[in-house]
């Protein structure tokens, strides 16, 4: 069987048919699911909803073979006779892209949207601001991008690119760019969840508007936890209400990220005030697990559990919905082996097998808690990934393993790596993804 993510059931007809196109009908069933029947009459997709049809079409591409993933060239002419019954295990199958530490041009973000779709992932969390760069065009406060989107590039964890430090680095997305990304994703049933990080990781905003900060300073050129956080003046709260209003105008997502991570000594008022503002606007605030320490959060707040799963379990106990993204398992910026040749040797070793072995549901959940666990997301932080090539290298093939964990039943497939090598890597080759080879690092 050559599918990835693995379906609920696959019945191999043991022969191939001529490929003559497909038709879709809607039938009831679990959200995002479908049944695909391929025989001499053609391909019939029974989709449970529009997202289910999209998922079925991605499976159809897989059945047609790697050639179906090329932008042009001969069209596949045969398809296996089979019956597939399929639906996702989790509703939130996400990837966070940090486009702040290193800016990713719009065309690359669009390419990632397509890659998410290929892997049946359905949430793109865009980390739009941080200490090192502000990437969201804000019409009311133009200095956020005029000043906050440029810096001298920072030191890398990668010894081979150490000499690149000091060059100018920057960029931002216009609101039109972001609307285009949202629409491109929507057409693939992918939700773009934007994040503006407060009250820490805000040095780029403070560089543009020093009155926002506890201290001044320029766009940061180092990495890590920055103690120069936002102040809690009423004028700062007003400023961010206005920024989030523009953000919510551009992004129709129900869920709006406000960050909340790594803000030493911060009292939590700003997080609560903005969370309440997001709720008053009819949306749901989404923050990293430190927001649990910000005092009572409005109902509907969603917590991203990154410092392990404990924060997520605590949030579930408090009645919040949770997305798991523990750094020990799904930080795709972390290095992929112990090899001294690994080009991006940061974090703790997180192999392809480690990602695949992870189960997002902690064993000790009770009552309604499992139902509030929306799913998980893999986080791609880009301090040390300064180009799309490097993002590809860090993301793949681990993101394929993550996609399988998000979609398929909890039981692990002992044949996973072999199946990936034989059937999935040729698709990534056809798509031009510069993944890390299974047998070791590229000689970068
Ligand atoms: C922690 S995870 C951070 C990020 C860094 C990342 C590096 C989180 C919410 N905060 O600011 O980029 O570690 O892996």
pLDDT digits (tens, 9 = 90+) for 247-284: 999 999 999 999 999 998 888 999 999 999 999 999 99
352 close to 417: Cβ distance less than 8 angstroms: yes
Residue that terminates a domain, selected from 39, 67, 86: 86
Region 35-61: what's the mean pLDDT?
A: 98
For residue 307, the CA-to-ligand 1 centroid distance in Å is 9
* 52/108 same-domain check: no
Please identify which of the residues 262, 342, 369, 404 carries the catalytic annotation. Answer: 262
Confidence band of 163 (pLDDT split at 50, 70, 90): low
Tallying the residues shown for the chain, one arrives at 444
Q: Say yes or no: CB of residue 136 within 6 Å of ligand 1.
A: no
**Atom in ligand 1 nearest the alpha carbon of residue 379:** 2
Considering the chain, what is the average pLDDT of its residues?
95
Distance CA 296, CA 255 (A): 18
Task: State whether the beta carbon of 381 lies less than 6 angstroms from ligand 1.
Answer: yes
pTM of the model: 0.97
Q: Return left, alpha or beta for 250; rule: phi > 0 is left, psi -120 to 50 is alpha, else beta.
A: alpha
Q: Are residues 195 and 341 in the same domain?
A: yes
Phi, psi angle pair for 279, to nearest 5°: -65, -45
28 class by beta-carbon count within 10 Å (0-12 exposed, 13-18 middle, 19+ buried): exposed
Q: What is the pLDDT of residue 313?
A: 98
Domain CATH number, residue 184: 3.20.20.80
Pairing, β 123-127 against β 191-198: parallel
Asked if residue 442 is part of any domain, the answer here is: no
d(CA 389, CA 379): 17
Active site residue 262: yes
The reply to whether ligand 1 has any atom less than 6 angstroms from the CB of 333 is yes
Separation of CA 380 and ligand 1 centre (Å): 9
Of 59, 86, 113, which closes a domain? Answer: 86
With a 6 Å cutoff on the Cβ, whether 290 touches ligand 1 is no
For residue 199, the model assigns a pLDDT of: 97
Find tokens 């407060």 and name the residue.
198
CB 245 within 8 A of CB 237: no
Beta bridge partners of 16: 80
Judge contact between 130 and 205, C-beta under 8 A: no
45 and 96 assigned to the same domain: no
Question: For residue 61, what are the domain limits?
Answer: 9-86
Atom of ligand 1 nearest to the CA of 101: 12
Give the distance (Å) from ligand 1 centre to CA of residue 64: 39
SS3 333: coil
Q: What distance in Å separates the CA atoms of residue 428 and residue 392, rounded to the nearest whole number?
A: 10
* Ligand 1 atom closest to the CA of 288, numbered from 1: 9
Write out the two tokens for 245.
């209003």
What does the alpha-carbon distance between residue 421 and residue 184 come to, in Å, rounded to a whole number? 29
Q: Residues 400-416: pLDDT tens digits?
A: 999 999 999 999 999 99
What is residue 360's three-state secondary structure? coil
**Are 78 and 96 within one domain?**
no
- Most ligand 1 atoms within 8 A of CB, residue of 327, 345, 382 to mutate: 327
> How confident is the model at residue 442, as a pLDDT?
86
Number of domains the chain contains: 2
Classify burial at 384, counting beta carbons within 10 Å of its beta carbon; exposed 0-12, middle 13-18, buried 19 or more. Answer: buried
Q: Which amino acid residue places its CA nearest to atom 2 of ligand 1?
A: 306
Question: Which DSSP symbol is given to 436?
Answer: P
Give the separation between CA 395 and CA 97, rounded to whole angstroms.
10
Q: Which tens digit of pLDDT belongs to each residue from 303-353?
A: 999 999 999 999 999 999 999 999 999 999 999 999 988 988 899 999 999
User: Residue 306: CB within 6 Å of ligand 1?
Assistant: yes
Residues 331 and 401 occupy one common structural domain: yes
> How many H helices and E strands in the chain?
15, 17
Cα–Cα–Cα angle for 384, 168, 134, nearest 5°?
70
Residues 140 and 197 in one domain: yes
CA-based nearest residue to 128, from 266, 283, 253, 216:
253
Q: Please give the average per-residue pLDDT across 151-165, as a whole number.
A: 71
Q: What pLDDT was estimated at residue 43?
A: 98
CATH of the domain at 40: 3.30.379.10
Residues 298, 391, single domain; the answer is yes
- Residue 394 in any domain: the answer is yes
Per-residue pLDDT band at 417 (split at 50, 70, 90): very high
Sign of CA dihedral 155, 160, 164, 166: positive
- Atom 12 (ligand 1) nearest CA: 381
Per-residue pLDDT, averaged over 340-368, amounts to: 94
Q: Is 289 near ligand 1, meaning CB less than 6 Å away?
A: no
Please check whether residue 228 lies inside any domain of the structure. yes
61 and 191 both lie in a single domain = no
Instruction: Indicate if ligand 1 lies below 6 Å from the C-beta of 331.
Output: yes
pLDDT greater at residue 440 or residue 174? 174
Taking CA atoms only, the protein residue closest to ligand 1 atom 6 is 381
43 & 110 share domain: no
Same domain, 115 and 37: no
What is the arithmetic mean of pLDDT over 36-60?
98
Residue 441, in any domain of the structure:
no
Please report, rounded to a whole number, the percentage of residues in the chain having pLDDT higher than 70: 98
Residue 383 binned pLDDT confidence (cut-offs 50, 70, 90): very high
State the pairing for strand pair 321-324/133-134: unpaired
User: Are 26 and 35 spatial neighbours (Cβ–Cβ below 8 Å)?
Assistant: no
From the CB of 141, is ligand 1 less than 6 Å away? no
Q: How far apart are CA 149 and CA 174, in angstroms?
A: 12
- The secondary structure of residue 136, as a DSSP letter, is B
Q: Is the ipTM of this complex over 0.90?
A: yes
Give the pLDDT confidence score for residue 356 in this predicted structure: 98
**So what's the pLDDT on residue 144?**
98
| Domain stop point among 60, 86, 112 | 86
Concatenate the DSSP letters of all residues of 296-310 into one string.
PPPTT-EEEE-SSSH
Please give the Cα distance from 44 to 443 (Å, whole number).
Answer: 45
List pLDDT tens digits, range 9-38. 999 999 999 999 999 999 999 999 999 999
Q: How far is it, in rounded angstroms, from Cα 327 to Cα 317?
A: 21
């Amino acid at each position: 069987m050559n599918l990835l993510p693995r379906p609920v059931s696959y019945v191999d007809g043991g022969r191939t048919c001529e490929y003559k196109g497909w038709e879709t009908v809607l039938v009831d069933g679990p959200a995002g699911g479908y049944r695909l029947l391929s025989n001499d009459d053609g391909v019939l997709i029974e989709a449970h909803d529009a997202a289910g049809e999209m998922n079925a079409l991605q499976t159809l591409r897989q059945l047609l073979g790697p050639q179906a993933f090329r932008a042009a060239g001969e069209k596949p002419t045969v398809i296996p006779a089979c019956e597939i019954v399929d639906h996702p295990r989790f509703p939130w199958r996400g990837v966070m892209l940090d486009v702040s530490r290193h800016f990713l041009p719009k065309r690359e973000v669009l390419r990632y949207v397509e890659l998410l779709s290929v892997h049946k992932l359905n949430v793109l969390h865009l980390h739009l601001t941080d200490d090192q760069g502000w990437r969201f065009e804000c019409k009311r406060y133009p200095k956020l991008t005029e000043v906050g989107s440029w810096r001298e590039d920072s030191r890398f964890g990668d010894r081979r690119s150490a000499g690149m430090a000091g060059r100018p680095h920057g960029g931002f997305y216009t609101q039109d760019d972001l609307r285009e990304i949202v629409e491109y994703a929507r057409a693939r049933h992918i939700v773009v969840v934007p994040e503006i990080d407060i009250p820490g990781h805000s040095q780029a905003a403070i560089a543009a508007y020093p009155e926002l900060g506890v201290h001044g300073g320029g766009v940061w050129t180092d990495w890590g936890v920055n103690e120069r956080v936002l102040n809690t003046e009423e004028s700062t709260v007003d400023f961010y209400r206005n920024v989030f209003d523009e953000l919510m105008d551009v992004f129709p997502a129900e869920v709006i990220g406000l960050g909340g991570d790594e803000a030493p000594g911060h009292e939590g008022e700003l997080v609560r005030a903005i969370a309440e503002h997001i709720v008053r606007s009819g949306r749901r605030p989404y923050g990293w697990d430190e927001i649990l320490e910000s005092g009572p959060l409005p109902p509907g707040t969603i917590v991203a559990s990154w410092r392990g799963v404990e924060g997520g379990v605590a949030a579930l106990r408090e009645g919040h919905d949770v997305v798991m993204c523990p750094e020990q398992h799904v930080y795709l910026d972390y290095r992929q082996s112990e090899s001294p040749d690994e080009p991006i040797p940061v974090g703790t070793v997180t192999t392809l097998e480690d990602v695949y072995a992870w189960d997002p549901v902690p064993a000790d959940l009770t009552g309604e808690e499992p139902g509030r666990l929306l799913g998980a997301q893999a986080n791609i932080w880009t301090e040390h990934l300064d180009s799309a090539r490097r993002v590809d290298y860090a993301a793949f093939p681990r993101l394929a393993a993550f996609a399988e964990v998000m979609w398929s039943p909890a039981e692990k497939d002992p044949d996973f790596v072999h199946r990936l090598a034989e059937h999935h890597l040729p698709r990534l080759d056809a798509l031009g993804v510069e993944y890390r080879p299974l047998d070791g690092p590229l000689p970068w």
